[in-house]
Structure 1
Amino acid sequence: MSLTDAQWARIEPLLPDRTPRRAGQWRDHRQVIDAIVFKYRTGTPWMELPERFGSWKGAHNRLRMWAVDGTWEKVFTALLAQADAEGDLDWVIPVDSAVVRAHQHAAGARQKGLRPASRTTMPSDGPAAD
């Protein structure tokens, strides 16, 4: 479940420099991306990532940091553009009306504004039931 060399060759130039702003050096980006891919393909909790991926905290923190700084958006945009230019994308998106529905509470949602006052209940003028 790791990236192929061809996949890595496409992604690597889009990633930030491996030298962090603080002292030290980051773990290899490829290992981190493999950990992230493994986590989402298998549904494994972060804390149960296999040891071959290194610290789960490092992978999780890099995932979050790249989401905040726009790295993931840049990578996905570039990969989509490459795939589209090569004719690898099929932009037909089927939509089935059976799965596109409003939530059950959407039909009866209260409208903005004041609620109408409830009518006062009056005793019936008819004869009493025996």
Structure 2
Amino acid sequence: MERFVLTDAQWALIEPHCLGKSTDPGRSGRDNRLFMEAVLWIVRTGSPWRDLPAAFGNWSTAFRRFSDWRNADVFKRIFEALSSDPD
């Protein structure tokens, strides 16, 4: 799948804050960048999770992962990492 939202530079700032790296204990996600693209698709479109395109994976799995990241304040850390670049 072609990337449309995140630049490589933005991803470099985001990646260290993601859960599911090979060094993390417990389960890990297959593709954190694709998951972030899915979250951004939901935000941009305002669609419910069940309308997530199949190219992003199973919507229910993506929503559970979103919930886990939200509860772990991952998105807060990502926002803080990116807030110096308003674009």
TM-score relative to the length of structure 2: 0.77
Aligned partner of residue 2 in structure 1, secondary structure: coil
Which structure is higher in RCO with an 8 Å CA cutoff and minimum separation 6? 2
Distance in 1 (alpha carbons) for counterparts of 2:40 and 2:5: 8
Aligned residues: CA RMSD? 1.9
2:54 pairs with one of 45, 51, 56: 51
The answer as to whether partners of 1:39 and 1:46 remain within 8 angstroms in 2 is: yes
- Higher share in helix: 2
Distance in 2 (alpha carbons) for counterparts of 1:44 and 1:56: 11
The answer as to whether partners of 1:39 and 1:49 remain within 8 angstroms in 2 is: yes
The answer as to whether partners of 2:69 and 2:75 remain within 8 angstroms in 1 is: yes
Shift of the alpha carbon at 1:4?
Answer: 1.6
Identity %: 41
> What residue in structure 2 maps to residue 21 of structure 1?
26
Please tell me whether Structure 1 or Structure 2 has the larger radius of gyration of its CA atoms.
1
Structure 1 runs (4+) greater than 3 angstroms displaced:
none
Query: Which amino acid is the alignment partner of residue 38 of structure 2?
Result: A
Aligned partner of residue 60 in structure 1, secondary structure: helix
Query: Which amino acid is the alignment partner of residue 21 of structure 1?
Result: G
Query: Which amino acid is the alignment partner of residue 52 of structure 1?
Result: A
> What residue in structure 2 maps to residue 73 of structure 1?
76
Distance in 1 (alpha carbons) for counterparts of 2:17 and 2:79: 10
* 1:67-105 C-alpha deviation (Å, 9 max, x unpaired): 11121112212222xx1xxxx55xxxxxxxxxxxxxxxx
Q: How many residues align?
A: 81
The answer as to whether partners of 2:52 and 2:59 remain within 8 angstroms in 1 is: yes
> What residue in structure 2 maps to residue 62 of structure 1?
65
